[in-house]
Structures are given as C-alpha cells and as structure tokens.
Amino acid sequence: MEVSGLDSDGKEFKNAEEMWREQIGEDGEQQEKKTQWYREGISYWEGVEASVDGVLGGFGNVNEVDIKGSEAFLQMLLSDRFPNARNNQHLVALDCGSGIGRITKNLLIRYFNEVDLLEPVSHFLDAARESLAPENHMAPDMHKATNFFCVPLQDFTPETGRYDVVWVQWCIGHLTDDDFVSFFKRAKVGLKPGGFFVLKENIARSDIF
Ligand code: SAH
C-alpha cells in the first residue's frame, strides 16, 4: 500500500519504505540506526510524568471511554472463547507496553487471575508496581499483578504457554516493521491453546491536528 505522510517535524515521505530508509537506514547501517530509533523512543517516555495524562499524551480524558470500549470487546471475546471461565479456569494476561499499568488496573485485573506487565521505562513500571500492590487495588480476591518485566517488546520472549490473552495497546508503533512481525512470531509460543492477541491502535484517516 502506497501512502504518503508527514513526520512530527512536518517532513513529507512518499511511502513507508522511504520513511524507514531514513529512520533505520539501508542494511549496512541498520543496526546502529535501529539502536538509535529505539533509544529515542524510550528517551521520549523517560521525560514523561508517570500519570494517566502522561501515558495518554495529554489526553487523560480518553481513559474512561477507552476502558469502556475495551471492556465490551473483552467481554465478547471471553464469552465466545472462554465460556467456562467462571468455572475456576485460571486466566492469565500480559499487558505489553503497559506504562503505569492503566489498562491492567482499570480492566485486565478484574477479568484475569494473573496479569504480567511489560514496560521498558522503569519509572512507569515502578508506578505500576505501586498502584497494583494488593492493598492499592480493588480487584477480586486472588486476582493479582504477578510479574513486572522491564524490557522492550523487541527483546521479549514469553514463557511458553503462559497467557490466555496478550494485550498490546498504544505501543506497537514503537517497533520497526521487521521487529513487529518477529515479536508476534515469538510471542505466539506464549499463548495457551485457544489464547489470543489483542492489538489496539488508533489510525487517523486524515490529519486531525
Ligand atoms: N499501553 C499503555 C501505555 C501507552 S503509552 C496505556 O494505554 O496506558 C506507550 C507506552 O509504550 C509507554 O509506556 C512506553 O514506555 C512504551 N514503549 C515505548 N517503546 C516501547 C517498546 N519498544 N516496547 C514496549 N513498550 C514500549
């Protein structure tokens, strides 16, 4: 698909290939430029306050409607794919690029017995650990945040067969196209039989700003 676009400095690219060539380079220089691409991604978030408004880029007011929409979608999937969940089935989710744990706290921990969080920015993960400590959340008994992995998605391989749901929201755009594909290939082994990925992103049809 040939679609032109602008970067955040207003520079125009004819298509995605041209953008990637400039960002991560041709094969030879790829590793160094790619490292730089990831470094810039992380350093942006290292300068952001560990709050709902921070992880939502100043759109904290979107939190409620986002969680409501996700909850309706998740309920549909759960009743369709895990009709026996209420009968003591032990459900486990992974929250990828979890930030401060907004999605886990407001949604996942209510439906899953265990949630693991993966987040490369340590001050976000520290905030998540604190707000998901058992005394600070209202989830049902025995529901808990178990593991807090401080790694980026492109370096992560999950434990085999641990997850019913791998939730990836508002962070996949940080990965290069090849890392995007290889993440899903690797992460597939982390799913239980019948488990699934949820990928939630926003796509603007036109320039909304
Ligand atoms: N999913 C969370 C946070 C969204 S903000 C929510 O909806 O509330 C985007 C998050 O992606 C930030 O926490 C940022 O640190 C994380 N991120 C940045 N680069 C990443 C990478 N390479 N792998 C995984 N997460 C990354």
CA atoms within 13 A on the CB side of 194: 11
Q: What DSSP character marks residue 140?
A: P
Q: What is the domain range of residue 159?
A: 5-200
Residue 206 falls within a domain, yes or no? no
User: Positive or negative, the Cα torsion across 39, 187, 74, 149?
Assistant: negative
Task: Output the six-digit token pair for 53.
Answer: 């408004």
Instruction: Tell me how far apart the alpha carbons of residues 75 and 81 are, in angstroms, rounded to a whole number.
Output: 10
pLDDT digits (tens, 9 = 90+) for 134-187: 888 777 778 999 999 999 999 999 999 999 999 999 999 999 999 999 999 999
CB burial class (10 A; 0-12, 13-18, 19+) of residue 197? middle
Whole-prediction pTM value? 0.94
74 Cβ inside 6 Å of ligand 1: no
**Top mean-pLDDT range of 85-94, 102-111, 196-205:** 102-111
Residue 186 falls within a domain, yes or no? yes
CB burial class (10 A; 0-12, 13-18, 19+) of residue 87? exposed
Residue 121 falls within a domain, yes or no? yes
Residue 209 falls within a domain, yes or no? no
The three-point CA angle 140-141-142 to 5° equals: 115
Closest Cα to atom 25, ligand 1: which residue? 97
List Cβ neighbours of 16 (8 Å cut-off, separation of 6 or more).
3, 177
> Average pLDDT, whole number, for the chain?
92
Residue 208 falls within a domain, yes or no? no
Instruction: Tell me how far apart the alpha carbons of residues 136 and 134 are, in angstroms, rounded to a whole number.
Output: 5
pLDDT of residue 9: 87
- What spacing in Å lies between the alpha carbon of 148 and ligand 1's midpoint? 14
Q: Are 87 and 159 in contact (CB under 8 A)?
A: no
- What spacing in Å lies between the alpha carbon of 124 and ligand 1's midpoint? 9
Q: What is the number of domains present in the chain?
A: 1
101 Cβ inside 6 Å of ligand 1: no
Residue 64 falls within a domain, yes or no? yes
pLDDT digits (tens, 9 = 90+) for 2-33: 888 888 889 999 998 999 999 898 765 678 89
Closest Cα to atom 5, ligand 1: which residue? 55
List Cβ neighbours of 151 (8 Å cut-off, separation of 6 or more).
118, 120
Where does the chain have alpha helices with state H?
16-24, 30-46, 52-55, 63-81, 102-103, 109-111, 122-131, 177-187
| CATH number, position 43 | 3.40.50.150
Task: Output the six-digit token pair for 135.
Answer: 């005394």
